[in-house]
Amino acid sequence: MIKELRVAQWKSFDHATLYIDPLTIVIGTNASGKSNLLEALSFLQRIASGIDVDQAIKGNDALSPLRGGAEWICRRPALEFTLEVLIGVSERQDLRYRIRVRTEGVTTETVDEELTEIAYASGAAAAAEKPLIWRQPTKAAVTAREQGITVGGYAIHAGSARPPTQLAILGRVSSILPVVDGLIREMEAADAARLVAQHLNQIFVFDPIPSQMRNYSALSERLMADGANLAGVVAALDPQRHTAVEQTLTRYLKTLPERDIKRVWAEPVGRLSTDAMLYCEEGWEGAASHEIDARGMSDGTLRYLAIVTAMLIRPPGSLLVIEDVDNGLHPSRAGLLIEMLRTLGKERGIDVIVTTHNPALLDAAGVRMLPFITVAHRDSVTGASRLTQLEDIKQLPKLMAGGALGQLATAGRIESAIEQGGD
């Protein structure tokens, strides 16, 4: 699982670290950097899937650009950004992947990449780091860039071999390394790269949009980032899994509205049965129940169903990222949302990162979630975005004595404590 994300000169951040737990909650005011942080995860997922760095930022016909494109990808006046992830392999072994990218004018290029194994020996004073693969510009490329010439020379290092090539570690290392002569640990390095790529590929930044879920959708195996094909994905599941997913959706939706939800399901429709629609059967005590389809469901209901579905169908080991997770939900249901994320995440081995502005959700999280809440905020001097873990604020006990967490967030007292040196 991904344990840490580090960013440097990325968008509004200078340097920051996000510690990732089974359920991580990121809070902060508007323009504090929450969305910028999540886009770093989107970028990493894109390059791990084989998309080149330039298109991962600028987008293409099938991919929307990151907000601001290449012009705003670095914190000004910097021309380079660095992203780094720490991935847990075992209790005594981590892998660290780092990429540094330069953007200047219309040019976007990878400056260097590193993949390092970190071993934690029992009783050792410090962890042992072993570089597996690293990529950096050749001397000729550096000289050419200094002279304003575009050139694509790079050196890839694994063990002692240094063959010149253009290589994206995550997307192409497994196909390149086996043909390189003299690599004693070539498969070890390739396996590590594949493992990192697998974890980054399983990042799913999810922003379910209810208006997109109300139409018929084609049967599909992969849930779209806006949830538009929710019905098609549920209806396309194999019969045994389809039944289990619908039963779980029904169980969780029953607790959401005031009316009685008897069943939630999706089924193919039309003469060819290639499209699907989402339905539910609802009613009131003492009255006959009736069926409605997605066109008659509330925004909050559809978003909640989409989030539960993502928790149920994402593969174990995934990282599910949801911005404004409680958007459309009544504050009284915040506790149900938190408990669902915690329970299904643990059952299915899925880590979750959410952002929120909702004081009710913070109150529902309670004291037990304090170690897993991170505050995004701006430095009062430089304006750079920073991340502070809530439990690291020295004034936190005094703050908590003065009110619930949601009240403190609403009054802006958390950011004030950080600004006054309380972290």
Would the pLDDT of 176 be above 90?
A: no
In this predicted structure, what is the pLDDT of residue 163? 33
Q: Give the span between the Cα atoms of 371 and 123, in whole angstroms.
A: 27
* Alpha carbons 61 and 87: distance in angstroms, whole number: 31
- pLDDT computed for residue 157 by the predictor: 52
Q: Is the pLDDT of residue 184 over 50?
A: no
Q: Cα 241 to chain center, whole Å?
A: 25
244 versus 153: which is more confidently predicted?
244
Share of the chain above pLDDT 90, in %: 58
Confidence check: pLDDT of 164 > 80: no
pLDDT in tens, 399-415: 888 788 888 888 888 88
pLDDT digits over 61-106, tens only?
888 999 999 999 999 899 999 999 999 998 889 999 999 999 988 8
What confidence score (pLDDT) does residue 148 get? Answer: 44
Minimum mean pLDDT among 30-44, 89-103, 188-202: which range? 188-202
Average pLDDT rounded to a whole number, residues 25-36? 94
> Which residues face 368 on adjacent strands?
none
| pLDDT at position 139 | 55
Q: Is residue 36 over pLDDT 90?
A: yes
Task: Find the mean pLDDT for residues 341-350.
Answer: 97
How crowded is residue 219: how many other Cβ atoms within 10 Å of its Cβ? 18
First to last CA, the chain: 28
Q: How far is CA 297 from CA 44, 121, 218, 282, 336, in A?
A: 35, 55, 19, 11, 19
pLDDT at position 46: 93
pLDDT at 136: 63
Query: Residue holding tokens 């109300």?
Result: 214
* Gap between the Cα atoms of 42 and 235, Å rounded: 27
Q: What percent of the chain has pLDDT over 70?
A: 86
Q: Specify whether the CB–CB gap between 206 and 321 falls below 8 A.
A: yes
Q: Rounded to an integer, what distance in angstroms lies between the CA atom of residue 306 and that of residue 226?
A: 9
Q: Which helix (H) or strand (E) holds 213?
A: helix 210-213
Average pLDDT of the segment spanning 11-35 = 95
In whole angstroms, what is the distance from residue 419 CA to residue 423 CA? 8
pTM confidence score:
0.88
User: Is 149 or 381 the better-scoring residue by pLDDT?
Assistant: 381
Residue 319 has pLDDT above 90, yes or no: yes
Average pLDDT of the chain to the nearest whole number:
85
pLDDT value of position 371 = 93
Question: What's the mean pLDDT in 325-344?
Answer: 93
Over residues 361-370, the mean pLDDT reads 90
